[in-house]
Amino acid sequence: MPELRPDQARRTHDTFRGARPLSAVRPARSLRPVRSVLSLLAFLASLALLVVLPGPAGAATPDTARGKPPTHPERHWLGSTLRSHEKPAAPDGPGPIPPLAAVEGVDVSSHNGNVAWSTLWDSGVRFAYSKATEGTSYTNPYFAQQYNGSYNVGMIRGAYHFAQPASSSGAAQADFFASHGGGWSRDGKTLPGVLDLEWNPDGADCYGMSASQLVGWAKDFFTTYRARTGRDAVLYTSTTWWKQCTGDYAGFGAVNPLWIPRYGASAGELPAGWGFHTIWQYTDTGPVVGDHNRFNGTYSRLQALANG
């Protein structure tokens, strides 16, 4: 057998191992076009946006986790419709307070976030109401901090329900309220629940209901709430709204305590059936939380209301 030259021997060895001859190996392919890389980066960026977009209503957000009001704060709370429908009396703040009606209070909802209860206590606030529910689906995500926080610093506390009469019955909303923070216990520190009936924030002033329909709705709420808790609920309403939407119905005055909002020097005219108010919301621009109130009586009478 003739002797192979070195280059012939190398080709024969590579062929035996199954490798392609070196002369047949192609150069490496070039990198993909820059536009392909940019497309990939754009796709990854879109995935990142999906992660940070807000979730459905009521879901936890970075703001709520840090104790701040949510990015899109609640729009409905005690008296939130008042300024857009009634001209406040001037000046906006209480005039001389009778010495037997000087117990200061506040009301709060989720738009207040976590409340500085110690600061309010040190300023003289002695009672607080927190929004618990609205309609039959909304619960205040800050309710525990607000309701328990006011109690823990020594305040007498209570809960309120923002009514949505057009969405469900008064009985259904009273049940929902009583089951989600609106209950009552004879501990000397818990006030009866409040029904907040005011201007419709989302449509017709009187919710598209007649005076008799609204009165019947409120009766169902009060009856169910009493059956659930053993207490008669407080009614929060303005005289102007009550006259327009219920025809100034006088049938609740003998049973349900009245909480009247009027931003000025006095509580002003009361709805028919009530000879006096129990609580007066006198401003929505007070220190720390905005809404400030006066109980129409001494501290011992406030305790008596809590005790039933």
Kindly list the catalytic residues.
Answer: 107, 196, 198
Instruction: Tell how far CA 195 is from the center of its chain.
Output: 16
Instruction: State yes or no: cis peptide before 56, omega within 30 of 0.
Output: no
Which residue from 185, 119, 115, 113 is spatially nearest to 156, judged by alpha carbons? Answer: 185
> Collapsing DSSP states into helix, strand and coil, what is residue 164?
coil
Looking at the chain, the number of H-run helices and the number of E-run strands are 9, 9
- 3-state percent helix, strand, coil for the chain, nearest multiple of 5: 35, 15, 50
What is the per-residue DSSP string for 17-52? TTPPPGGGPPPPPPPPPHHHHHHHHHHHHHHHHHHH
> Collapsing DSSP states into helix, strand and coil, what is residue 55?
coil
Q: Cβ distance 86 to 238 under 8 Å?
A: yes
- Rounded-to-integer distance, Cα 116 and Cα 147, Å: 12
Torsion angle (degrees, nearest 10) of CA 157, 268, 289, 69: 90
DSSP-assigned letter for residue 261: E
Torsion angle (degrees, nearest 10) of CA 266, 241, 221, 251: 80
Residue type, 281: Q
